[in-house]
A and B are shown apart, each in its own frame.
Chain A
Amino acid sequence: MSALIRNRQIVPNDVTILDDEAAAPQNGNFVVSLARWQKDNAQLRSLSVDVGVRLPNTADLTTIWAELEDRKLIVLDFPGFADGRAYSQARLLRDRYAYKGEILAVGGAVVRDQIQGMQRSGINSFLLRADQDPNVCLTAFDDFASAYQRATDKDMVIPREHRRSNSL
């Protein structure tokens, strides 16, 4: 069973990701694929629950952002250890579109050794791969205290620190 980390806390897994064929549950929030979201859009929007959307890592946000804008949850896919495409999707969501909702990472690369990079790219929740120990994973966020690139609020951004100390 996969554990869920949200905002650096281990929380009960409350995410239901539907197969494209599965019927929508009667109550409770769930996530559908982008394809299903586009196909059954009117019907899904009429439901009283929150429907999240899972993007394939090949999706071009510039063409689909308008359809996602009001979602509270966007799920990004990290299918394999070496496939980093969704990192760019996360950056675009946060930086270009100023998306404020939850971004959840799922897939085979959601492990101890990648989640800090994911967090720094703007992802705030992580459905860990089944073999991962969530307590070990939590320590990943403390591997580095600062970074050369702008990152999450917690981390120090080195160029920014330099500019600040320069203007003192």
Chain B
Amino acid sequence: MYRYDQYDQTLVNERVAQYRDQTQRFLAGTLPDDEFRALRLRNGLYIQRFAPMLRVSVPYGMLSSKQVRMLAHIARKYDKGYGHFTTRQNIQYNWPKLEEVPDILADLASVEMHAIQTSGNCIRNVTSDHLAGVAKDELVDPRPYCEITRQWATFHPEFNWLPRKFKIAFSSTTADRAAIRVHDIGIQIVRNDKGELGYQVYVGGGLGRTPIIGPLVREFLPELDLLSYCEAVLRVYNRLGRRDNMYKARIKILVKETGLAKFTEMVEAEWAHIKDGDLKLQPQDLERMKSHFTEFAYDKNAAADTTYADRLREDSAFAAWAKRNLKEHRQPGYSIAFVSLKASGVAPGDITAEQMDAVAELSDQYSFGEIRSTHEQNLVFADVRQQDLYAVWLRLRELGLATPNIGLLTDLICCPGLDFCSLANAGSIGVAQDIFDIFENLDYQHDIGEIKIKMSGCMNGCGHHTVGHIGILGVDKKGEEWYQVTIGGSAENDASLGDRTGPSISRADIAGVVEKIVDVYLENRHSEDESLLKTYRRIGMQPFKERIYNTAPAAEAIA
């Protein structure tokens, strides 16, 4: 993974000093409240329902064991002993003290980490496929491009005061695991028919109040033009994005209101001026960056192992985990192992300091000392020899991190909701637990197959509910918690927004409604291979609606 050089390290250290000074001026009363707010947000510090919340950047989900140990240390020393992985591959702490944040940042800086631009109206953490570099369906490793973009975006002087937040994601695989089309800029790395590398550029996707699947703005952008093109997009946005209404300030609204053709024309015109300037990458820039992401020294004999097959035969619990929580690696004899952060009784994405330490230890022993965080709020050991999987599983099971539910119904993603977030209309963690209780039986979950449930506590959509196969959105009804349900969303290649089932559902009924949706699906699917998404697209909303609201077909007037 990428390691800091002296420049990166100095910059992060200087940032700690700068933020310490800002905090001191705020505490001394010389920095006004609203200005400190804007500044602390650019360092990931929110003031939430009960306490500040600090969001730490995990660039494109890559972590070293040393970094994870530091995250554990921070959880113990400054927080209540745990952290929470988010849908943007970052980690959040829910109970830090404002006065101590500079010290936390200093600790982070000591392991090449920071909280820079994890919030605020600026360019946020660059995200990508959590299987980058090991995925079988990958064209090239996207991480060097992510890192180049991360550096360009870090403290970009022109784009620190944008109309609204700005998110960039990369994908380099046929199956999009980075949800690029719901990002402000989504970049698909491609090869053109001449065999040259480059990018398809999507602009103006996003979730939140006005969910939009991002349209294609450029069919093929040459590899060396990555930064100049991003700069052109950002410049058009910084100048023309709406600033009069926070809910219309994302670039998706600019694209929509301007019209795709006109918007594209403006970007291209801007780009024409700067494309051959010093933002143009040189081949050596790419080579340098690619040298940070070379393949590990894999064990050539890994595939000769037979113990793994034996274990699978002998231990059905292990086999169940292997079936669900392992993915195929490119390297024969290796597997990608998922660490499930979705156990019953735990908020999705939460992990304790002890678990973090143990995960770090496991990665040192079995996965080259690296860990990844995923968009679905789990962790990944990307490079485990098959002969080691049993040992990894045994330990994960002891830790409560081996729930064999990756991709299944209880592997749901959800924002912090009412429990932590001051913007929330309704709780999401409690609903997650209710769903867990209903679908407790893992065999049943396996029969149901892959269903992505996504849940947000408010319209901001941090839980990406609009692209969940089943989406759940917390709404406020006269001070009570209610939920709007959608079916049919997807953040993958066939990206689509979910459709609302109808009137919102009470807190008491919401988990039951999920069960009804699953029942209708099971009754109607042609085979186990027909996903909920496919079934829904075939049979439409009506059967679901009838079951959810107990309406007989005849009584139903208009959908």
Identify the A interface with B (CB < 8 A): 60, 81-85, 87-91, 95-96, 109, 111-114, 116-118, 120-121, 143-151, 156, 158-163, 166
Q: Does B18 contact A (CB under 8 A)?
A: yes
List 14 A-B pairs, Cβ < 8 Å.
A81-B34, A81-B38, A85-B239, A95-B274, A113-B39, A117-B155, A117-B157, A146-B7, A148-B11, A149-B152, A149-B155, A161-B7, A162-B285, A163-B285
Q: Does B158 contact A (CB under 8 A)?
A: yes
Q: Does B345 contact A (CB under 8 A)?
A: no
* Min C-beta distance of A65 to chain B, whole Å: 12
CB distance A163 to B162 under 8 Å? no
One digit per residue, 1 when the CB lies within 8 angstroms of any chain A CB and 0 when it does not, for chain B 18-39 equals: 1000100100000100110011
Q: Which of A88, A114, A163 contacts B158 (CB 8 A)?
A: A88
CB distance B235 to A82 under 8 Å? no
The 7 closest A-B pairs by CB, nearest first: A84-B161, A120-B157, A117-B157, A148-B151, A87-B158, A158-B7, A121-B157
Assuming the contacts A88-B239, A158-B7, A163-B284, asked whether A121 and B154 have C-beta atoms less than 8 A apart, the reply is: no
Q: Does B477 contact A (CB under 8 A)?
A: no
* Min C-beta distance of B204 to chain A, whole Å: 18
Number of interface residues of B (CB under 8 A): 39
**Most chain B beta-carbon contacts within 10 A, residue among A83, A158, A166:** A158
Q: Does B282 contact A (CB under 8 A)?
A: yes
User: Which B residue sits closest to A92, measured CB to CB?
Assistant: B235
Task: Report B-chain residues with C-beta under 8 Å of the C-beta of A89.
Answer: 239
Q: Which of B23-71 contact A (CB under 8 A)?
A: 25, 31, 34-35, 38-39
**Most chain B beta-carbon contacts within 10 A, residue among A88, A95, A161:** A88
Interface of B is mostly: helix
Q: Which of B482-503 contact A (CB under 8 A)?
A: none
CB distance A87 to B157 under 8 Å? yes
**Most chain B beta-carbon contacts within 10 A, residue among A84, A85, A145, A166:** A84
CB distance B288 to A82 under 8 Å? no
CB distance A85 to B7 under 8 Å? no
Task: Report B-chain residues with C-beta under 8 Å of the C-beta of A83.
Answer: 161, 243
Task: Report A-chain residues with C-beta under 8 Å of the C-beta of B25.
Answer: 112
Q: Does B14 contact A (CB under 8 A)?
A: yes
CB distance A87 to B238 under 8 Å? yes
Q: Does B160 contact A (CB under 8 A)?
A: yes
CB distance B14 to A88 under 8 Å? no
Task: Report A-chain residues with C-beta under 8 Å of the C-beta of B277.
Answer: 95
